[in-house]
Amino acid sequence: MKITNLKTNHIENPIGFDLGKPSFSFIVTETTAKKQVAARIEVSKDDEFNSVIFDSGKSKEIDSLAFQPSIDLEPRTRYYWRVTVWADSGEISTSEVAYFETAKIDESWKGSWITPNLDSDIHPVLIKKFNIEKTIKSARFYVCGLGFYEININDKKCGDEYLSPNLNAYDKWLQYQTYDITNELKLGKNEVEILLGAGMYKGRFGLDRKENIYGDKFALLCEMVINFEDGESLIIKSDESWKVRKSKILASGIYDGEVYDDTFIDSTDYGVKKIALGFDRLKARLSLPVKIKEKLKPVEIIKTPKGETVLDLGQNMVGWLEFKVRAEKGTEINLQYGEILQEGNFYRDNLQSAKAEFKYISDGTEKLVRPHFTYYGFRYVKVSGLDEEINKDDFTGCVIYSDMETTGHIETSNELINRFFLNVLWGQKGNFLDVPTDCPQRDERLGWTGDAQVFSGTASFNMDTFAFFNKYVYDIAREQENRNGLVPNIVPVAGTNVSCSSGWSDVATIIPWTIYVQYGDKKILEQQFESMKAWVDYIKREDDNSFSTRLWTTGFQLGDWLALDGENPESFAGGTEESFIASAYYYYSANIVAKAAKVLKKEDIFKEYKALADEIKGAIREEYFTSTGRLALKNQTAYILAIYMDLVPEGKKDRVVKDLRERFKLDKNYLKTGFIGTPYICRALSKSGCNDLAYKILLNKDYPSWLYAVTMGATTVWERWNSVLPDGKISGTHMNSLNHYAYGSVVEWMYRYMAGINPIEDKPGFRYVKLEPKPHCSFKYVNMSYKSPVGIYETKWEIDNEGKLKFYFNIPFNAEAKVVLPDARFDKVMVNGQKLINGAQEGDNVVVELNSGTYEFCYEPTISYIKYYNIDFSLEELIKNEETKKILEETLPVMLPHGMIEKIGDKSIRELSNMPFFPVSSELLEKLDEKLEKIKVVFE
Ligand code: BGC
């Protein structure tokens, strides 16, 4: 038995974070034991546990998902903790030691805010030299630099994070970071250089693409605390003694890139002065560090028809290229970043006004070069200024994103779906840079709340997002201040006074609830409760000011953004009535507030918001459903929201589902949905017995569909269903990102329905789950693994050649699952090679309660899971063709020894040859399809 994944506030060994009341979590693995009987958590000030400050003792109450020890934290202190677990098998194990370290907490700052005596558009380097004469025991650096900063200590970059302090509502709060620099300092002379960049604080940013949104001056505040072995300490702080020179970085900005002149040498000291930014806004960091998480090598150097030299990274990625320069002094090298080629040439018009380039002027020495204060969303990089042949190996794509652990993976028998899953994962990597952004490449890159909201479920299966979203929702709450609870459509607001909208602003309720259910730590609800409630109160005031109809009918709405069923070509809002969407979300958010109040034991508030939610639901039913259950709106998204959000009147579900199928029939089983309908489309279908339709829509390959982009070679998810047209031309330059994750939110359906793993709200954090995969004959197998907060779950299913269903489940230690086997007869189900004894027949399904362990189920389903197509091709013709004959021989089960097909299923070859059509499985069809373009599916 092993105890792993010790995290404090869901971060591994955090240093310098604002932890509030710390919350510990851990995972038990490598055991055949089923349950935790007791656990003990000890917290100490030393790693040998001689100065223990908290000891829970052996306790039955310790929850591995979240345990809050009652300790009072001191500033600038490292705490060590470990866990011992007693299991029901008698095993006992103690974990390795984990730690967390506090920042300054409420200590006042000794340093002053300083700014260089330079024009505010000149990038500075702030310098401090000092001597160390005694042996250092420990040293820490507390720093906030605005806009971005990077520290070099004795000519070496300090820490492994980039673009600090990253982005938050700077006008409300400023984050400082803590660095352990014990090993960076040395006896004797030391030199600290801090480079400052414009960042989002003062560089061009926001919907207005303006400069100086949050401030117009570079600024630095820092404090270095050096503790010596002899017990004394030295503090080096930002003050007027710091020196300043002009930086080699001549310009920087996240949209436009960076200009770096390595020939520029400045030895003048311009001095610094104090700047009155105040200290009230300062707060220890909540943001996870943004790190280089992966490196990619270019797959190809392309010479374009225009004669350009373009590197292809093979993947739309976010970060920058690092490259080795061997060029004469004064050589200007220019890298331009783009997402797609057009007619084989470099292209970047869809980045709108973002220049997205890196200009580097060489000083003649050979070195590795990279930008410091910008990032790019790209697959292709145009390189100019290097006349000799460039070498692929000299370039490396540095992929940056917030330091989150990858937790989920899905792999299936369908290669296109596998690529789609990776595209969605890459979309998350590219857009989870401290703030969940809409896109990473053009002049936008903003925290659009709707995009984040719809994707948060998928994101939280893919990666451990607790700490990431915890910071984002904190920003949401701060942006609601002085806005009467209104949640802006963009957070952080970044300049423009944006309004709110349903679907977008509901981020305030949806993300905290999603994170609570996923991770089982109610700390996030405690932190966000007022913000969640304030948002619903805002809508209610709007409602009360317009006759208290309990519908939301006022104000600006983004609607079903980018849906394809809009009547007004000028509008992006789609065709679903905005007030319906707004009222549906009004209900949904009010209901979440009620549920959160219940979790937090706020009984009165629970009752109040439950009553409000019921009133809204009643009003929606009255306004939008006829007495026989007909939905008055005819859009896909309207049906989807009604089903997904449980708005359909009692007893009328069948009617609505029938109408929904009719709707899809009219739309030839293609989606027409935008940002609001798309995330829930497959969930609403599978939930209402239309699993077949969910798979059909998922697997559509032509426009509009998820796989269309995949068949067009996309390596990320596009903003529009047709961002690129079938002839390879980009469909427009306005709002056309090739890395927009919103539509990737269908991956949540893949986890929950295709693979079947569902957390239960009453027992959050995957302590108890419902495992209910919904296999479909369009896949031969699906494999899913998810490292939940409790441990690793796996579900796999397979449809074998005879149509038998096989399931494999792994349930982690101290977890339980209700397994639902579809279309099963209890007496036919085998588990781990034995007849099933426990469990029950529930309608068409067999239901089994299981605890930790691995289980293999196998049975013949009561309905066929093999898909047969009738193909418009005679068998005789197929047999005449050598290639297709071979495929038939390999694929069909019953054959004559010498290769002639005798019969298929129970039909003889003679009978089949006389039939105009004959049935084949989907697998065979696919293989034949590759060889014979003429095959026409006439079934369905
Ligand atoms: C963004 C979207 C966003 C939308 C809403 C766009 O420019 O890229 O993803 O949600 O605006 O207006």
What is the pLDDT at residue 571? 84
Residue 93 and residue 122 share a domain: no
What is the pLDDT at residue 918? 45
Amino acid symbol at 123: H
When pLDDT is averaged across residues 706-725 and rounded to a whole number, the result is 96
Residue 278 and residue 388 share a domain: no
Domain annotation covers residue 910: yes
* CATH code: domain of residue 389: 2.60.120.260
What is the pLDDT at residue 926? 63
Task: Name which residue sits closest to atom 12 of ligand 1, judged by CA.
Answer: 558
Structure tokens at 327: 């060029």
When pLDDT is averaged across residues 523-550 and rounded to a whole number, the result is 97
Query: What three-state secondary structure class fits 477?
Result: helix
> Buried b vs exposed e over 843-877: b needs ≥16 C-beta within 10 Å?
eebbbbebebeebebbbebeeebbbbbbbebbbee
Residue 274 and residue 136 share a domain: yes
Position of tokens 């539509």? 743
Cα–Cα dist 646/588, whole Å: 9
Considering Cα of 867, then 870, then 871, then 875, what sign does the dihedral take? positive
What is the pLDDT at residue 437? 97
* CATH code: domain of residue 782: 2.60.420.10
The dihedrals phi and psi of 352, each to the nearest 5 degrees, come to: 55, -125
Centre of ligand 1 to C-alpha 576, Å, is 18
**Ligand 1 mutation pick, 561, 717, 739, 745, max ligand atoms within 8 A of CB:** 561
**Ligand 1 mutation pick, 448, 456, 745, max ligand atoms within 8 A of CB:** 448
| Contacts with 217 (C-beta within 8 Å, 6 or more apart), sequence order | 115, 120, 202, 275
pLDDT, tens digit (0-9, with 9 covering 90-100), for 62-104: 999 999 999 999 999 999 999 999 999 999 999 999 999 999 9
The yes-or-no verdict on residue 238 having pLDDT over 90 is yes
Question: β-strands 257-261, 148-153: how paired?
Answer: unpaired
pTM to 2 decimals? 0.93
DSSP string, 135-204: -EEEEEEEEEEESEEEEEETTEE-SSB-SBT--S-TTT-EEEEEEE-TTT--SEEEEEEEEEE-HHHHSS
Task: Name which residue sits closest to atom 2 of ligand 1, judged by CA.
Answer: 438
What is the pLDDT at residue 923? 59
Domain annotation covers residue 354: yes
Residue 269 and residue 168 share a domain: yes
* DSSP 8-state secondary structure symbol assigned to residue 546: T
Domain annotation covers residue 185: yes
Give the max Cα distance, the chain.
98
Strands (DSSP E) found in 229-299? 233-237, 243-246, 249-253, 257-261, 272-274, 282-284, 290-296
| Contacts with 477 (C-beta within 8 Å, 6 or more apart), sequence order | 508, 527, 528, 530, 531
Question: Cα 421 to the chain's mean position, in Å?
Answer: 12
- Indicate the helix (H) or strand (E) that contains 400: strand 395-402
Q: Which whole-number Å values give the CA distances from 325 to 63, 335, 376, in the listed order?
A: 53, 12, 20
Q: Are 790 and 763 in contact (CB under 8 A)?
A: no
DSSP string, 343-375: TTEEE-GGGTT---EEEEE--SS-EEE--SS--
What is the pLDDT at residue 570? 79
Considering Cα of 533, then 536, then 540, then 542, what sign does the dihedral take? positive
Centre of ligand 1 to C-alpha 562, Å, is 9
Task: Name which residue sits closest to atom 6 of ligand 1, judged by CA.
Answer: 735
The yes-or-no verdict on residue 892 having pLDDT over 60 is no
Residue 908 and residue 888 share a domain: yes
H-assigned helices in 673-770: 681-687, 691-699, 706-711, 747-749
Domain annotation covers residue 481: no
pLDDT, tens digit (0-9, with 9 covering 90-100), for 484-531: 999 999 999 998 777 999 999 999 999 999 999 999 999 999 999 999
Q: Are 313 and 378 in contact (CB under 8 A)?
A: yes
Task: Name which residue sits closest to atom 8 of ligand 1, judged by CA.
Answer: 438
Boundary residue ending a domain (284, 312, 329): 284
Residue 938 pLDDT grade (very low, low, confident, very high; cuts 50, 70, 90): very low
Cα–Cα dist 589/335, whole Å: 46
Q: Which atom of ligand 1 is nearest to the CA of 504?
A: 10
- Range of the structural domain that residue 932 is part of: 867-939
**Ligand 1 mutation pick, 353, 435, 438, max ligand atoms within 8 A of CB:** 438
- Residues of the chain with pLDDT > 70, as a percent, come to 92
- Work out the burial of residue 266: count CB atoms within 10 Å of its CB; fewer than 13 is exposed, 13-18 middle, 19 or more buried: middle
Residue 168 pLDDT grade (very low, low, confident, very high; cuts 50, 70, 90): very high
Domain annotation covers residue 33: yes
The yes-or-no verdict on residue 931 having pLDDT over 80 is no
Task: Name which residue sits closest to atom 1 of ligand 1, judged by CA.
Answer: 438
The alpha carbons of the chain give a radius of gyration, in whole angstroms, of: 30
- Give the residue among 750, 733, 614 at the shortest CA–CA distance from 682: 750
Domain annotation covers residue 268: yes
The dihedrals phi and psi of 830, each to the nearest 5 degrees, come to: -110, 140
> Buried b vs exposed e over 724-736: b needs ≥16 C-beta within 10 Å?
beeeeebeeeebb
- Give the residue among 445, 468, 446 at the shortest CA–CA distance from 456: 468
5 versus 876: the higher-pLDDT residue is 5
Position of tokens 């700390």? 523
Q: Which whole-number Å values give the CA distances from 535 to 557, 590, 717, in the listed order?
A: 15, 9, 30
Centre of ligand 1 to C-alpha 517, Å, is 27
**Ligand 1 mutation pick, 351, 441, 442, 451, max ligand atoms within 8 A of CB:** 451
- Give the residue among 848, 838, 854 at the shortest CA–CA distance from 795: 854
The yes-or-no verdict on residue 237 having pLDDT over 80 is yes
The dihedrals phi and psi of 779, each to the nearest 5 degrees, come to: -125, 145
What is the pLDDT at residue 874? 56
* DSSP 8-state secondary structure symbol assigned to residue 423: H
Residue 166 and residue 264 share a domain: yes
The interaxial angle of helices 449-462 and 507-519, nearest 10 deg, is 10
What is the pLDDT at residue 865? 81
Residue 816 and residue 787 share a domain: yes
Residue 13 and residue 157 share a domain: no
Q: Which atom of ligand 1 is nearest to the CA of 448?
A: 10
Boundary residue ending a domain (254, 284, 314): 284
Query: What three-state secondary structure class fits 329?
Result: coil
Boundary residue ending a domain (805, 826, 859): 859
Position of tokens 């984050």? 175
Residue 47 and residue 65 share a domain: yes
Mean pLDDT of the chain: 93
Residue 317 and residue 277 share a domain: no
Q: How many domains does the chain have?
A: 5
Domain annotation covers residue 875: yes
Angle at 194 between CA 353 and CA 259, to 5 degrees: 30
Residue 273 and residue 165 share a domain: yes
Position of tokens 């099963």? 824
Task: Name which residue sits closest to atom 4 of ligand 1, judged by CA.
Answer: 448
The yes-or-no verdict on residue 451 having pLDDT over 90 is yes
Centre of ligand 1 to C-alpha 719, Å, is 9
Centre of ligand 1 to C-alpha 735, Å, is 8
| Contacts with 439 (C-beta within 8 Å, 6 or more apart), sequence order | 377, 431, 445, 719, 737, 739, 740
Centre of ligand 1 to C-alpha 723, Å, is 14
How many of the other CB atoms lie within 10 Å of CB of 501? 24
Q: Which atom of ligand 1 is nearest to the CA of 735?
A: 7
The yes-or-no verdict on residue 914 having pLDDT over 50 is no
The yes-or-no verdict on residue 607 having pLDDT over 80 is yes
Structure tokens at 331: 């050589």
Centre of ligand 1 to C-alpha 292, Å, is 27
Centre of ligand 1 to C-alpha 909, Å, is 58
Cα–Cα dist 721/729, whole Å: 14
Question: β-strands 174-180, 282-284: how paired?
Answer: parallel
Residue 722 pLDDT grade (very low, low, confident, very high; cuts 50, 70, 90): very high
Beta bridge partners of 282: 174
End-to-end CA separation in angstroms for the chain = 53
Domain annotation covers residue 521: no
Q: Which residues lie with the beta carbon below 6 Å from any ligand 1 atom?
A: 438-439, 444, 448, 450-451, 558, 561, 735
The yes-or-no verdict on residue 656 having pLDDT over 70 is yes
Residue 146 and residue 63 share a domain: no
What is the pLDDT at residue 801? 78
Q: Are 373 and 249 in contact (CB under 8 A)?
A: yes
When pLDDT is averaged across residues 661-672 and rounded to a whole number, the result is 94
pLDDT, tens digit (0-9, with 9 covering 90-100), for 124-148: 999 999 999 999 999 999 999 999 9
**Ligand 1 mutation pick, 735, 739, 740, max ligand atoms within 8 A of CB:** 735
When pLDDT is averaged across residues 550-557 and rounded to a whole number, the result is 96
